[in-house]
Structure 1
Amino acid sequence: MSGVSRKEFLGLGAMAAAGWSAGCAPGDGQGEGSDSTTAPDLVVVNGRVLTQDDTVPSATAFAVKNGRFVAVESDAEIRNLIVAGRTRVIDVERMTVLPGFIDAHSHPSGAGLNALKNVNTNLGSIARIQAALRQRAQATPPGEWIVGYMYDDTKQEEGRPLNRTDLDAVSTEHPIVVGHRGGHTGVYNSRAFETAGVTVDTPDPFGGHFSRANGELTGKVAERARGVFDVPSTSTREERARGVAVICREMNATGLTSVHQTGTSRDAFTAYQDAYAAGELTLRTYAMARGGSWSALMDAGIRTGFGDDHLKVGSVKFAADGSASERTMYMSTPYAGRPDDFGILTMTQEEIHDVVERAHRAGWQVAIHANGDLTIEMVLNAYERVQELWPRANCRHRIEHCSLVTPTILERVRDAGVIPAPFYTYAHYHGEKWVEYGADKMEWMFAHRSFLDYGIPVAPASDHSPGPYEPLMALQSMVTRKDFQGRVWGPSQRITLDEAIRVCTVNGAYASFEENDKGSISAGKLADFVVLAEDPHDVDPDRIKEIQVVRTVVGGDTVHEA
């Protein structure tokens, strides 16, 4: 028996009986020598269990007690632990069982709140976007903002992006913004520009850009230039907590059991705590602080790791350049067809040095959004500097996205012990955008193969809402690098299916210092797992994303069942 023998399991059960709760559903047998105090709460049998534990790579069954795996072995061994009336038994009928998937860079709280409050513009055509916004405008008093979300400029039937004139046709009485799903640009109408006092002659701020064409504002605004628009938040505390609950259910349905919530504001921290208190936080959350929330936590003496197995303070997160999907990331070479466009830098080297020093010396893990190669080098400069001046063991600083790399960058990342978190669904989902980078550059983007070859524990990252969070789509994307049209982007960066599964489980846990508690189906670890209708190894790689998620379990409790 993996980790704990039958005799050891019974002994541990007797010792810890006072602290262990009993199962709630009848089992299908009676273990010899077992009693109600040593009985597992749950056993899963008759499965194809791919544990991601190198000591026991596969099994057919496992037992769970008090929210943790306590034994991983054969059906016969595990069935012998069942106590009728105390142990719940799940027969998975030879389906495949994997550790719960981990998304190490996502924005669930914002996505959930958007779904409750704003206008979903992920509609595939400008005409449908206008209709949805017009319907909201008709129910909104003049002068109040209309906010759209999940817009994608390259996925419209009209074959062009949304612009200011399109939004003016919806309303000139309401300021309107339609945010790109990438989170770094938005499209505004004329009323919004008037409200902000922005004209075609307004200079671009550092780290931002007002798009212009033919002597007029197009409506598109990028990066820090969006800060001139005062778009009020009208959400209540109750709505924010409900938004967390909504997105938890949606992500659980795809097999996710843990997320790293990046850029957590004060309100988002409260929302997560409220959802947790209400029993609706069904994703284990590593909440990465930002801005005001980070300062407040620092002042209180709190740092990375504070919390429990369900809700924990993560790293502090900053953003140093633009977006890969919105084609604003800061690079050493220009975008295809735009010889003067190298992207947008949103932090100076001095600013990066300052925040990294403050956080590092205070004991925090640091995570900085850096897509382009030049920006990545700036972040590495800061990480190397603080380790030289104020060495800390095992700090695991991170580079969020780390999209465009070079051999020199790979060596520096490895040598510094830095964790990269590149997009895991982008190669597949955003294929039409990669023409603006070109085939040669894509051989060095989202470089999962290179990271693994250099011995770097690359983390799994959707960046939702910018990218889909579905882990099965992520497996397909990392294995095939093939987009919806069948084009392959960066074939040299393909990884094997087994490597991709490990990225989405074991490596996700490592990125948050939780490799001893999650990431594999191992005795002693948290009982987070997912049941799939088919083994991804047995299906065409181009249809991995179509596999049904039958059940998702967090701490022994089912949070999704198909």
Structure 2
Amino acid sequence: MNKMNFKITAIALALTASFAHANSNTAITVYPALDVITMSDSITDANAVAVQDGKILDVGSQQDLVKRYKDKAGYQLDDSFAEKVITPGFVEPHAHIWLFALVSNTEFITPADWQLPWGDVKGVVGQEDYIKRLKEVEANHPENEPLVTWGYHSSFHGEMTREILDQVSTTRPIVVWQRSVHEVIFNTAALGMFDITKESWTGEGESYDMLDWDKGHAWEKGLYVAVPALFQLIATPEKFASAIKRTEQYLQAGGITTVVDPGVQLPDGMVKGMIQVMDSSAHMMDYLLIPAGNSIYDTNDKDIKKTIAATRELVNNPALNGKTVKWLDNQVKLFSDGAAFSQLMQMKDGYLTGHDGEWIQTPEDLENSFKGFWDEDYTILIHANGDLGLEVAVDSMEKANKVKARTDHRTGFHHVAFTDPADIKRAADLGGNFSVNPFYLHVLGEQYSEVGVGKERSEVMARGRSFLDAGATLSFHSDAPMAPGRPLALAWTAVNRTGLTGKEMGMSEALTIQESMRAITIDAAYQSRMENEVGSIDIGKRANFTILNEHPYQVKPGQIKDIVVWGTVFDGSLFPVDKTAQGLVLNQQTQELMASITGEHAGHNHASGDICDANHMYQEILATMD
């Protein structure tokens, strides 16, 4: 069935459902608003929504809806949004709740300001001020409880060693988790708490090469040895439960009602813990999981039949599926090349510095695993950052399609920092779609113009217009905690295409705000095969809304990111935001700080790798602890 016929059928079914519901005796609530941005193909003009049983009963003018339902049993008019704008609940197609949860379980001491639902954090710069803040946090920390902090960065806070941390406390265990989560520093008390000795940090192989006992410092592959100790402090069932709730509040404050987490292979106990927390409290969002096909492929000796069987067993396990936390059936994530933040993506024309990118899955492994899942009719999502990484990923789809032609497969290419329009067109012609992280341009565009990549390629990174012109569906994602879990900030970046200094870059790739709103609502839902449930305000869909204090089509383009989210509606229940929380505060000072970070680390620096890299690594570590 083609996309247009599918939409017509869906609309007809929705209308039928609306008539059936209207005849029931359950409460009908009409919500008038300044405007309703529907993202619907059939309903484009509305200022009110009628909700019944957690579903959208009707959409239209306030006058028409009141007239139609005022005499129905249980009718009520709720003017909570009368001076606000209703949009579909924002859909985040690529974020990692569980990893952000672990970070949120720490004390934030960062270069930049953060606004969080549980409190604001003022940034500090300089080693002296960092140590001063650390001492303040330590003095106010519960007695006899170890202290873990996140946000340290050597560019702003100077050197950090075991000896320096011992000056803060020789009795309280202190662990400093670096901003990119690719480094950890322990004080002597923390090493002693876990019986970590010089001998236990000495051995053969890369992991031991990335450990410095004297400085209490572990990085990259050394984390396989060191991080189990950290997780004993922040990933206990009790702490993990509170952190999941915190993270849910953080994302909801950005207007998000649906989160998709691609590349999950957590221990069963952690998945069950997330289900218990998110299903036992008031439901504010769906958290939908996609398996890490590359990891399952590797652990099954690259036997594709065993890999498929193991993937199905994981996804279909009733104990690992709840009401709001559950696996997406017949969907899987694979990997192409390395991280954009550390310039490890694979580039067709190489790097100005002469270094090489890296493959997460070799082209051969990607092709073999892709074909196996393709032949079983999976929807496949591929992590690809460089233009060569995308080319190889599209090649895998093209080869698989020649053997077994498929329609409506919705293969997705995620991140896509650097792309060749020819590969975009190839993918789109075969039915592929794209999910871009627009924040790459804002944070990295100017720096990569100078270091490693060059101006011509960097100014059109994180494209927009090329994807739509090729006929592809496009969504935006944050990869949180890599970028702020704030869809309006992503839309702001795609519309304005400005770097950290405010310079415009690659404006031929700029999108309109209307196109950008589709990328955080209906088109994001479509890519995850959820367009019949969420993503637009259509009759019969779930009553998931984001409520804004200002109209995104009417504010100045530079102010899109500053629109205040009043709250959300999830399955008909209202959830006001208790406290405005931007997450990472996007002011001029923060932008200058981020420019310094990316400027220093552009060019093959492992300590600034992206969150998908860390996500993969930490899940492997957790698997050894289960």
Shorter-normalised TM range: 0.7 to 0.9
RCO comparison, higher one (Cα < 8 Å, 6+): 2
Alpha-carbon shift at residue 225 of structure 1 (Å): 6.2
Alpha-carbon shift at residue 209 of structure 1 (Å): 9.8
SS of the aligned residue for 1:58 comes to coil
> Structure 1 pair 350/140, CA: closer, same or farther in 2 (3 Å)?
farther
User: Counterpart in 1 of 2:442?
Assistant: 428
Say yes or no: does 1:12 pair with 2:44. Answer: no
1:420-454: CA deviation from partner (whole Å, max 9, x where unpaired) = 22113333355664443433112331111111111
1:95-134 mapped onto 2 (5 Å cutoff): 95-117=84-106, 120-121=109-110, 123-127=123-127, 128-131=129-132
Preserved CA contact (<8 Å) 1:439 1:490:
no
Preserved CA contact (<8 Å) 2:162 2:215:
no
User: Counterpart in 1 of 2:356?
Assistant: 342
User: Counterpart in 2 of 1:262?
Assistant: 262
> Equivalents in 1 of 2:404, 2:240: separation in Å?
39
Preserved CA contact (<8 Å) 1:43 1:82:
no
User: Counterpart in 1 of 2:599?
Assistant: none
> Structure 1 pair 101/321, CA: closer, same or farther in 2 (3 Å)?
same
User: Counterpart in 2 of 1:170?
Assistant: 165
User: Counterpart in 2 of 1:90?
Assistant: 78
> Structure 1 pair 471/10, CA: closer, same or farther in 2 (3 Å)?
closer
> Structure 1 pair 130/428, CA: closer, same or farther in 2 (3 Å)?
same
Say yes or no: does 1:443 pair with 2:440. Answer: no
Q: Which amino acid aligns with 1:497?
A: I
Preserved CA contact (<8 Å) 2:85 2:550:
yes
> Equivalents in 2 of 1:228, 1:377: separation in Å?
35
Say yes or no: does 1:323 pair with 2:339. Answer: yes
1:464-543 mapped onto 2 (5 Å cutoff): 464-543=480-559
SS of the aligned residue for 2:251 comes to helix
Give the counterpart of 2:45 among 47, 55, 58.
58
Alpha-carbon shift at residue 533 of structure 1 (Å): 1.2
> Equivalents in 2 of 1:481, 1:126: separation in Å?
31
1:263-278 mapped onto 2 (5 Å cutoff): 263-264=263-264, 265-266=266-267, 267-278=269-280
User: Counterpart in 2 of 1:378?
Assistant: 392
User: Counterpart in 2 of 1:149?
Assistant: 150
> Structure 1 pair 362/245, CA: closer, same or farther in 2 (3 Å)?
farther
1:515-536: CA deviation from partner (whole Å, max 9, x where unpaired) = 1111111111111111211112
User: Counterpart in 2 of 1:33?
Assistant: none
SS of the aligned residue for 1:405 comes to coil
SS of the aligned residue for 2:40 comes to coil
1:493-523: CA deviation from partner (whole Å, max 9, x where unpaired) = 2111111001111111011101111111111
Say yes or no: does 1:365 pair with 2:367. Answer: no
> Equivalents in 1 of 2:558, 2:211: separation in Å?
38
Give the counterpart of 2:311 among 293, 298, 306.
298
> Equivalents in 1 of 2:22, 2:572: separation in Å?
20
1:154-175: CA deviation from partner (whole Å, max 9, x where unpaired) = 7x3x6xxx55x55652249879
User: Counterpart in 1 of 2:120?
Assistant: none
Alpha-carbon shift at residue 4 of structure 1 (Å): 8.9
Give the counterpart of 1:400 among 389, 407, 414.
414
Say yes or no: does 1:418 pair with 2:406. Answer: no
Task: Compute the TM-score of the two structures, normalised by the length of structure 2.
Answer: 0.72
> Structure 1 pair 241/323, CA: closer, same or farther in 2 (3 Å)?
same
Preserved CA contact (<8 Å) 1:102 1:460:
no
> Structure 1 pair 425/559, CA: closer, same or farther in 2 (3 Å)?
farther
> Equivalents in 2 of 1:313, 1:521: separation in Å?
24
Preserved CA contact (<8 Å) 1:304 1:363:
no
> Equivalents in 2 of 1:10, 1:407: separation in Å?
43
> Equivalents in 2 of 1:9, 1:379: separation in Å?
41
> Equivalents in 1 of 2:38, 2:242: separation in Å?
33
> Equivalents in 2 of 1:271, 1:415: separation in Å?
42
- What is the aligned length? 521
Give the counterpart of 1:547 among 559, 563, 566.
563
> Structure 1 pair 469/198, CA: closer, same or farther in 2 (3 Å)?
farther
Alpha-carbon shift at residue 360 of structure 1 (Å): 3.2
> Equivalents in 2 of 1:289, 1:176: separation in Å?
31
> Structure 1 pair 11/119, CA: closer, same or farther in 2 (3 Å)?
closer
Alpha-carbon shift at residue 417 of structure 1 (Å): 2.1
Preserved CA contact (<8 Å) 1:333 1:342:
no
Preserved CA contact (<8 Å) 2:183 2:219:
yes
> Equivalents in 2 of 1:228, 1:370: separation in Å?
28
User: Counterpart in 1 of 2:602?
Assistant: none
Alpha-carbon shift at residue 407 of structure 1 (Å): 2.0
SS of the aligned residue for 2:228 comes to coil
> Equivalents in 2 of 1:270, 1:93: separation in Å?
40
> Equivalents in 2 of 1:119, 1:55: separation in Å?
46
> Structure 1 pair 196/387, CA: closer, same or farther in 2 (3 Å)?
farther
Task: Compute the TM-score of the two structures, normalised by the length of structure 1.
Answer: 0.80
> Structure 1 pair 526/534, CA: closer, same or farther in 2 (3 Å)?
same
Preserved CA contact (<8 Å) 2:21 2:57:
no
1:376-397: CA deviation from partner (whole Å, max 9, x where unpaired) = 2222232333333344442222
Greater mean alpha carbon deviation, residues 166-175 or residues 467-476: 166-175
Greater mean alpha carbon deviation, residues 288-297 or residues 439-448: 288-297
Alpha-carbon shift at residue 59 of structure 1 (Å): 0.6
> Equivalents in 1 of 2:278, 2:477: separation in Å?
23
Preserved CA contact (<8 Å) 1:245 1:281:
no
> Structure 1 pair 303/348, CA: closer, same or farther in 2 (3 Å)?
farther
Preserved CA contact (<8 Å) 1:119 1:136:
no
Greater mean alpha carbon deviation, residues 421-430 or residues 550-559: 421-430
Alpha-carbon shift at residue 189 of structure 1 (Å): 6.8
> Structure 1 pair 361/209, CA: closer, same or farther in 2 (3 Å)?
farther
> Structure 1 pair 198/538, CA: closer, same or farther in 2 (3 Å)?
farther
User: Counterpart in 1 of 2:281?
Assistant: 279
SS of the aligned residue for 1:403 comes to coil
Preserved CA contact (<8 Å) 1:459 1:507:
yes
1:185-224 mapped onto 2 (5 Å cutoff): 185-186=182-183, 188=185, 197=201, 221-222=219-220
Give the counterpart of 1:452 among 464, 468, 486.
468
SS of the aligned residue for 2:479 comes to coil
> Structure 1 pair 147/218, CA: closer, same or farther in 2 (3 Å)?
closer
> Equivalents in 2 of 1:546, 1:555: separation in Å?
26
Give the superposed CA RMSD: 4.0
Which of the two has greater helix per residue? 2
